[in-house]
Chains A and B, each alone.
Chain A
Amino acid sequence: MAFFQRPTEYPCQLILDPQNDYETLRRRVEQTTLKAQTVNRNRSGVTNVSSPGKSLNLYPSNEYEVLPNGSEAHWEVVERILFIYAKLNPGIAYVQGMNEIVGPIYYTFATDPSSQWKEHAEADTFFCFTNLMSENRDNFIKSLDDSQCGITCKMESVYSMLKEKDLELHLKLVKTLWVSFQDREEMSGGAQPLPPVFPLLRSGVQADPPAEPVLPGVGQRSASESILSCKLHQEFLLPDVIRIWDTLFSDKDRFHFLLLVCCAMLM
């Protein structure tokens, strides 16, 4: 993922021009206790949820270093896209997992052979991201999580699909989930809410099987599956992600195919 640390050929001149005294995100982010970490560190944001200690070692602090004045790294462009999206859609704002969605889109535009395409990558990405989100924003809205258009329901359908295709695996998973769920209940006295592994699911079910695929039902139930997820998301490389998305987006039955992919990955 070194791509996102490299400077972009087309930084936002308006902001970088020292004559304009804009308060840049750089400054804001540093002042607000490194908000950039959650926004930009795709992988670490995710690992953070399951094993916060490890992620610190995995990602040395200089990885997302701010480039010298006058240039901008690609991650800063992505950060700006997400920031503006969050500001324009306060009902949704920023939810972990969005970075996983915007990343491949931006990468595709910003690495286009034609310089004309590259030049407008930021605007194009924003447009595509906004449109994609208009189809699946419900998955990112916490108050809809348990509704019939929310994420929990989507996971349920992956489960029932799995049950149909591979009963044995389904039973095994359900059993493991149930056991770890009970363990957890006992440990926490049944009162504590389970850790929010929802973001993982979100991008998993979103448009993004590749980046963190299958965390079936991991959601509320157990942490053991999130380990599974981490393993899987490292197995998929960006080119494969883009290949899979290509098929996903051509799905007329918007994202039914995604459920199939999730299911297939489990098996």
Chain B
Amino acid sequence: MEDYDYLFKIVLIGNAGVGKTCLVRRFTQGLFPPGQGATIGVDFMIKTVEINGEKVKLQIWDTAGQERFRSITQSYYRSANALILTYDITCEDSFRCLPEWLKEIEQYANNQVVTILVGNKIDLADKREVLRQRAEDFAQAQSMLYLETSAKESDNVEKLFLDLACELIREAKQNKLDNNDTAPMPGEGKTISYLNCCSLN
């Protein structure tokens, strides 16, 4: 067995261009790639962190935000322990889409999943379109954690993942689940209605 105490799967979701890939790369590789292209499909990176003396392995799935990849990304929700729902504070549109994303989560994710709302790009404060208070209220109403980050300036990025890891550990302990049970069992998530998209005529 490998040398760690916990393994958590985290999936980033949100509109295209809000900075999901940049957040992941900032956290796992410590860099901010200028001109990062659109993600195709779903990729992942792994980083092991230490929290209160416990080794936590985070497997972070970075998904494509574009609509056309939605069916691929959906297949990753179910195995997630946590979801990072990201929007861009300089883009009202990415905020307005959040209810749509929540619907996706409800439909495809495990119901014990921990969701955190992240407003990215706070380095572009002068272009802000979504007020902090508004996002906080929204997150609270949906019982989500909320954090504002900047992948470019590396603001709150570490905090985002570490807080999430802490929360996941707390939940795992609270549920008195041992390590083997932290990953949702296959079949536990909600049934996907396959017939929505293919008609058998």
Contacts and interface: CB of A to CB of B under 8 A. Distances in A.
Interface of A: 87-91, 127, 130-131, 133-138, 141, 143-144, 146-149, 252-255
A149 B183 contact: yes
A143 B187 CA distance: 23
B174 interface: no
A148 B46 CA distance: 15
Interface string B11-30: 00000000000000000000
Given A91-B61, A130-B72, A135-B186, A143 B46 contact: yes
Contacts of B179: 148
A130 to B, nearest CB: 6
Contacts of B41: 87-90
Contacts of B183: 148-149
A147 B57 contact: yes
A133 B198 CA distance: 19
A6 B183 CA distance: 43
B42 A134 contact: no
Interface in B71-106: 71-72, 75-76, 78-79
Given A131-B75, A143-B46, A252 B1 contact: no
Contacts of A131: 75, 194
Interface residues of B, number: 27
A148 B186 contact: no
Contacts of A254: 185-187
Given A87-B40, A88-B40, A254-B187, A147 B2 contact: yes
Nearest to B61: A91
Contact of B1 (A133, A134, A146): A146
A147 B7 contact: yes
A161 to B, nearest CB: 16
Nearest to B63: A91
Given A146-B2, A148-B7, A91 B44 contact: yes
For the complex of A and B, the 6 pairs showing the least CB-CB separation, nearest first, are: A88-B41, A134-B75, A91-B44, A254-B186, A91-B43, A90-B43
Nearest to B187: A254
A197 to B, nearest CB: 19
Given A148-B179, A252-B187, A89 B42 contact: yes
A138 B61 CA distance: 12
Contacts of B107: none
A88 B74 CA distance: 13
22 contacts: A88-B41, A88-B42, A88-B69, A88-B72, A89-B41, A90-B41, A91-B44, A91-B61, A127-B198, A130-B71, A130-B75, A131-B75, A134-B76, A138-B79, A144-B59, A146-B2, A147-B2, A147-B7, A148-B183, A149-B183, A254-B185, A254-B187
A4 B71 CA distance: 28
Nearest to A135: B186
A91 B42 contact: yes
B68 to A, nearest CB: 10
Contacts of B52: none
A252 B7 CA distance: 25
B177 to A, nearest CB: 12
B36 interface: no
B196 interface: no
Contacts of B185: 254
A130 B2 CA distance: 28
Nearest to A124: B198
Query: Most chain-A CB neighbours within 10 Å: which of B40, B61, B186?
Result: B186
Contacts of B78: 134
A130 B69 CA distance: 13
A253 B40 CA distance: 32
B175 interface: no
A109 B185 CA distance: 29
